[in-house]
Amino acid sequence: MPSQFNFRVESADPGGARAGVLSTPHGSVPTPLFMPVATLATVKGVDIGRVAETGAGMVLANTYHLHLRPGEAIVEQGGGVGKFMGWAGPTLTDSGGFQVFSLAKQVRVTEEGAFFRSHIDGSPVDLTPEAAVRIQEKLGADVAMQLDEVVALPADRERVEAAMRRSLRWAERCLAARSRPEQAMFGIVQGGLEADLRQESAEALRRLPFEGYAVGGLSVGEGTEAMVAALAATVPHLPADKPRYLMGVGQPQDIIAAVAAGIDMFDCVLPTRCGRNSLVYTFAGQVRLRNASHAADQGPLEEGCPCLACRHSRSYIRHLFLAGEMLGPILASIHNLTFYQRLIARLRAAIVAGRFDALRQELLARFSAPAA
């Protein structure tokens, strides 16, 4: 394990939720933690200083996108992805596997790797496990992810199983390709919605010397119930002394369910994507700012929220959206990012205080209400 990378559980709920601390070369972050998505070394519409003000402790960037532009060599010359975008805290880079299968053109997957054409200019790209590691080492994040094969769901069991087993073989190749001892690497559990495949994948990965483990292949429309079932089949078979990361999730109620299942780390584009589309999150439920009911509302988006947006009224921010002013999406995105950090902080405090289940039930009842 890298000497400056460490994870410790400080408190645990009887049901499985846990509060801990993740330590990296660029600082320590309390868990559970939510990483804003800085795909191209930027969180869409929000400068990095404002991202820090939301309470974020760690951000995620993407290998696929940064490899295509500006290229990992440019990022390396800029001091690594964190310094390149002006972020002083810990960073994580996704390996790009999901983007290969969701964005790239003419994808061909073999045992060697994924071969495809860029969605930007059609240029050919070869992404092998070794290349994914090499690119991420140049990007210089504190945590790199193994390259995995992602399968869109629903899919037949044979296809899911083949991808899961190939991902295990790629996991070994990623570990063998490492050359930067200060960079941690996480393995990724695959297996679709097949409980036995999830268990097999988790048990095989835990025998490999990863610093953490992710659950991949979810947040693809399977629904909360199916996601929880997949986590139940996975988490008990992962090491208790290493961080667990659920990739790409998601809605507040999904995060609550995953924390209850023992997940420590999250990322999702929803805070900024919804913010750009005038949907904001509050602890009373979702708010659709374009609704006429907010036209004359002089109250903030949420009472007690410390974010920049909540210094303004709902009426004003709604006006910005209707007028096509770019400040509207920016403010809504800042609020949503702040909401996610406040949510994570409340969940953590409840775990430490021994009242996680009570808070879980309270929040789920609120979030089940229709958007106002």
Clarify whether 126 is annotated catalytic: no
End-to-end CA distance of the chain: 48
Q: Residue type at 183?
A: Q
Task: Give me the phi and psi of 278, to 5 degrees please.
Answer: 65, 20
Task: Give me the phi and psi of 264, to 5 degrees please.
Answer: -110, -25
How far apart (Å, rounded) are the C-alpha atoms in residues 219 and 270? Answer: 11
Number of C-beta neighbours around residue 296 at 10 A: 10
How far apart (Å, rounded) are the C-alpha atoms in residues 44 and 206? Answer: 35
How far apart (Å, rounded) are the C-alpha atoms in residues 124 and 62? Answer: 18
| DSSP 8-state secondary structure symbol assigned to residue 194 | -
How far apart (Å, rounded) are the C-alpha atoms in residues 318 and 298? Answer: 11
Catalytic residue among 94, 142, 148, 254: 94
Q: Residue type at 69?
A: R
Question: Contact 198/160 with Cβ under 8 angstroms?
Answer: no
Task: Give the E-state strand segments of 83-227 in sequence order.
Answer: 91-94, 105-109, 114-117, 124-127, 143-145, 184-189, 212-215
Task: Give me the phi and psi of 187, to 5 degrees please.
Answer: -85, 160
Clarify whether 94 is annotated catalytic: yes
Cis-peptide, bond into residue 250, ω within 30° of zero? yes
Catalytic residue among 13, 142, 148, 267: 267
* Alpha-carbon torsion, ordered 164, 170, 172, 177, to 10 deg: -160
Q: What is the CA radius of gyration of the chain?
A: 20
Catalytic residues: 94, 267
